Structure 1
Amino acid sequence: MKISETEMEIMKIIWDKNGKVTTSELADKMPDKKLTTISTLAGRLIDKGCLKSEKIGRSHVHEYEAIISEQEYQAMQTKEFVKSIYRGSAKSLISALFRDEAFTKADIDEFKRFIEEQE
């Protein structure tokens, strides 16, 4: 499952709220988007299994709630990234990060502690 950049805007709003978000709340947080665009994007996220929706009363207002957490989505995308770019080798990913000096000494120490905790 891949969430587009614009769909991700909606997911981040909902994840940050950590609960239900109405159509109007999304519109307030996304003033550059039309209500119809927000509804279309939310519908795509429902189809992808990321959101669920409940209509409020007889109005056209919906409440949206995340089905998948931000951490679950990050884990899925990370696995897919490692699989597609590094042929499934997490070691290759880590090696590339070390080669490019993306880690500070503090990062390396934290990473070592994390590995020790996992053992």
Structure 2
Amino acid sequence: MTKTEMQVMEFFWETGKSYTFAELQKYFTEKKGWKKQTLNTYLRNLHMKEFIKKDFIHRKTVYTAISKKEYERKKAEDFLQKNYKGKLHNFLVALTGKSIVTKDDEKELLRYLEEEKDGKL
């Protein structure tokens, strides 16, 4: 994700709302000086990358960003895919320097993932 695309995402995350194109255009024109086509390009790219959803409500296009947590998950999956053939095991081997992940390592990871799932972290 580019730095400017991240600015768009952060706007959505900070406000926690969905916006029409006109609302987004007003904000980004006033705050950043962007032209209509500039904003449209960033929104299209973010939509193609599946970071922003686009719905049609009452003949208006409404944009909604995925949550920051979902973004972080996608970023982690992309990192694993690009660097470790999509395998968590390959990442753990690189991280620990061990060719075999021990049962204790596995238990600790599973505990961490369970806590993350339950929102305790």
Q: Please report the TM-score for the alignment, with normalisation by the length of structure 2.
A: 0.55
In 2: Cα distance, 1:63 partner to 1:26 partner: 16
Structure 1 residue 18 displacement after superposition: 0.4
* 1: CA distance, partners of 2:94 / 2:110: 19
Superposition CA RMSD, Å: 3.7
Counterpart of 2:80 in structure 1 is 82
**TM-score, structure 1 normalization:** 0.56
What 5-or-longer segments of structure 1 have no aligned partner?
100-111
Q: Aligned letter for 2:80?
A: V
Question: Whole-Å Cα distance in 1 between the matches of residues 112 and 47 of structure 2?
Answer: 39
Partner residue in 1 for 2:15: 17
- In structure 2, the CA distance between the partners of 1:25 and 1:64, relative to structure 1 (3 Å rule), is farther
Q: CA deviation at 1:75?
A: 0.8
The residue aligned with 1:7 is 5
Residues 25 and 76 from structure 1, CA distance in 2 versus in 1: closer, same or farther, beyond 3 angstroms?
A: same
Aligned residues: 100
Q: Distance in 2 between matches of 1:8 and 1:46?
A: 13
Q: Which residue pairs with 2:41 in the alignment?
A: 40
Asked if 2 retains the 8 angstrom alpha-carbon contact of 1:51 and 1:65, the reply is: yes
C-alpha contact (below 8 Å) 1:13/1:26 kept by paired residues: no
| Alpha carbons 1:42, 1:51 under 8 Å: kept | no
Structure 2 unaligned blocks of 5 or more: 98-107, 116-121
- Work out the percentage of aligned pairs sharing the same amino acid: 24
